[in-house]
């Protein structure tokens, strides 16, 4: 296997990014995407990166091409495994004119960590930080345990034999623990330092914990030990969006979950996720999700493997 320096090259800057929302079942905290629709020439005609509200775990059964994570380009081939944290811009591009077969698992890391570390808050929070702070593209044979567990989950979800959800869930728990342990050992995966995002990790973590409060760009820059101007430039360069856009996206993600799982009013949810007024909440929700919060709450299809794509353009959101 080559070193990361040999595997990784720079990706040209992209003008926009898609947000793809996946609703995962609350009881299993995971969603598998499988079948013939995932045999394709990935990235054909697509110039954008995208990111999700949950961790994307992928396995390549055949094909070759490139994974783009932030501004980095990493080759993939048969047997490649990926673990991409939520909110990290990325995409997959098959070699032009060829087909690749990928299958995916979307995992609610926080929900799974609550289950794994019940009553052990410190360990739970450390595991979540490790898992959300590192993106991996693992070559075939690089980590057999990770590869085996991903394949086992996909097999269970495809065959749907007796107790398949329980068995897949136990494999997913083991996978996340193995990935967190791998992160502490700092092996040879493509980690976010190399994707250029590590400098922003404190701000991303801060937003995830304080989205319900008024946030200023200056305080986000401060937790990263950067000047505000440099922070704004770096954030735009690495995340393909502004810090303001990102804050609104996190708030809307949480709002979607609250609309699904609670009986709170639209106003209460908007306030709970940090929007200063109902009109601001409605405006931003519609721009990101394509429908209003009321429509989202009353359309059951939104909770069944729904994907929402949103092109994030500079200046496209308003939060004031």
* CATH for the stretch 4-185: 2.60.120.280
CA–CA dist 202, 68 (Å, integer): 22
Task: Report CA-CA distances (Å) from 42 to 50, 132, 158, 194.
Answer: 13, 25, 22, 23
DSSP assignment string, 159-198: H--TTHHHHHHHHHHHHHHHHHHHHHHT-SS--TTTTT-G
Contact 226, 234 (CB under 8 A): yes
Question: What single-letter DSSP state applies at residue 242?
Answer: -
- 23-59: pLDDT as tens digits: 788 888 999 999 999 999 999 888 788 888 899 999 9
**Alpha-carbon dihedral of residues 84, 108, 315, 203, nearest 10 degrees?**
-70
Q: What are phi and psi of 163, to 5 degrees?
A: 60, 25
Q: How many CA atoms lie within 13 A of 186 on its CB side?
A: 3
CA–CA dist 174, 170 (Å, integer): 6
Q: Where are the beta strands (DSSP E) in the chain?
A: 9-10, 17-20, 30-33, 39-40, 49-52, 55-62, 65-69, 72-76, 81-84, 90-94, 100-107, 136-138, 311-312
Closest listed residue to residue 38, CA positions, set 102, 134, 127? 102
For helices 121-132 and 201-210, the axis angle rounded to 10 degrees is 130
- 267-301: pLDDT as tens digits: 999 999 999 999 999 999 988 888 899 988 877 55
DSSP assignment string, 264-307: --HHHHHHHTT-SSHHHHHHHHHHHHSS-HHHHHT-GGGGSS--
CA–CA dist 144, 31 (Å, integer): 23
Contact 56, 104 (CB under 8 A): yes
Question: What is the C-alpha R_g of the chain?
Answer: 19
CA–CA dist 203, 220 (Å, integer): 5
Residue 10: pLDDT above 80? Answer: no
Residues 51, 49, 54, CA angle at the centre, nearest 5°? 10
- Domain edges within the chain: 4-185, 198-312
- 90-140: pLDDT as tens digits: 899 999 999 999 999 999 999 999 999 998 999 999 999 889 888 889 999
Residue 170: pLDDT above 90? Answer: yes
* CATH for the stretch 198-312: 1.10.10.60
Residue 1: pLDDT above 90? Answer: no
């Amino acid at each position: 296997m080559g070193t990361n320096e040999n595997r990784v090259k720079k990706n040209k800057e992209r003008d926009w990014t898609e947000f793809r929302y996946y609703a995962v079942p609350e009881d299993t905290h995971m969603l598998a995407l499988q079948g013939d629709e995932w045999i394709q020439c990935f990235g054909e005609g697509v110039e954008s990166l995208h990111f999700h509200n949950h961790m994307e775990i992928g396995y390549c059964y055949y094909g070759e091409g490139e994974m783009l994570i932030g501004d980095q380009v990493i080759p993939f081939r048969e047997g490649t495994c990926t673990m991409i944290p939520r909110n990290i811009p990325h995409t997959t591009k098959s070699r032009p004119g060829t087909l690749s077969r990928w299958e995916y698992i979307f995992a609610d890391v926080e929900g799974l960590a609550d289950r794994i570390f019940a009553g052990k808050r410190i360990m739970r929070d450390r595991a979540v930080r490790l898992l959300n702070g590192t993106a991996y593209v693992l070559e075939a044979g690089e980590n057999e345990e990770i590869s085996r567990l991903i394949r086992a989950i996909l097999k269970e979800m495809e065959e749907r034999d007796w107790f398949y959800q329980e068995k897949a869930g136990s494999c997913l728990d083991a996978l996340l623990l193995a990935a967190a342990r791998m992160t502490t050992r700092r092996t040879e995966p493509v980690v976010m330092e190399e994707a250029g995002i590590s400098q922003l990790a404190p701000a991303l973590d801060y937003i995830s914990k304080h989205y319900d409060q008024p946030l200023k760009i200056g305080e986000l820059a401060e937790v990263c030990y950067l000047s505000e101007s440099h922070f704004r430039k770096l954030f735009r360069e690495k995340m393909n969006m502004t810090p303001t856009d990102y804050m609104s996206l996190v708030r809307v993600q949480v709002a979607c979950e609250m609309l699904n799982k609670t009986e709170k009013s639209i106003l209460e949810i908007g306030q709970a996720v940090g929007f200063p007024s109902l009109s601001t909440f409605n405006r931003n929700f519609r721009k990101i999700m394509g429908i209003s919060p009321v429509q989202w709450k009353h359309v059951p299809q939104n909770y069944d493997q729904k994907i929402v794509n949103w092109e994030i353009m500079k200046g496209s959101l308003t939060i004031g």
